[in-house]
A and B are shown apart, each in its own frame.
Chain A
Amino acid sequence: MRYAMAIDTKKCVGCGDCVVACQTENNVPIGYCRDWIVENVNGSYPNVEIELRSERCNHCDNSPCVRCCPTGASHIIEGGIVKVTHNECIGCGACIQSCPYDARYSHPDGYVDKCTFCDHRLAKGQSTACVSVCPTNCLYFGDLDDPNSDVSKALRNRTSKVLAPEAGTKPQLYFLT
Chain B
Amino acid sequence: MKEELFVSGRNIPYIDPYLNIWHWEIPVYLYLGGIAAGIMFFAGLFTVMGKEKEMETTVKWAPFLVPVALVVGLFALFLDLKHQLFFWRLYTTIRIESPMSWGAWTLMFVTPLSMVWVVSYLKEAIPDWNWRFSIAEQFEVLAIKYRKHMAWAMMALAIILGVYTGILLSAFNARPLWNTSILGPLFLVSGLSTGLAAIMWMSKSHQERTVLSKIDIALIGVELFLIIHLMMGFLAATEVQIEAAQLFLGGDFTVTFWVFIIILGLIVPAFLEILELFGYKIPIWIPSLLILFGGLMLRFLMVEAGQITRYLY
Contact = CB atoms under 8 A, between A and B. Distances in A.
Interface stretch (B8-16, B45-53, B149-157, B220-228): B8-16
B5 to A, nearest CB: 5
Given A70-B90, A92-B100, A100 B83 contact: no
B84 A110 contact: yes
Given A38-B6, A68-B100, A97-B307, A91 B13 contact: no
A139 interface: no
A31 B174 contact: no
A154 B92 CA distance: 44
Pick from B87, B100, B104 the residue with the most CB of A within 10 Å: B100
Interface residues of A, number: 50
B13 A106 contact: yes
Contact of B89 (A67, A90, A106): A90
Most B CB within 10 A of own CB, among A39, A42, A92, A168: A92
B205 interface: no
B82 A91 contact: yes
Interface residues of B, number: 47
Given A38-B6, A41-B5, A102 B310 contact: yes
Contacts, number: 148
B173 A64 contact: yes
Contacts of B95: 69-72
Contacts of B100: 68, 70, 92, 94
B10 A36 contact: yes
28 contacts: A16-B8, A31-B12, A31-B13, A33-B10, A36-B8, A38-B5, A38-B6, A41-B1, A41-B4, A64-B173, A68-B97, A68-B171, A70-B95, A70-B104, A87-B86, A89-B86, A90-B83, A91-B81, A92-B100, A97-B174, A97-B175, A98-B171, A102-B15, A102-B310, A106-B82, A110-B83, A111-B83, A164-B311
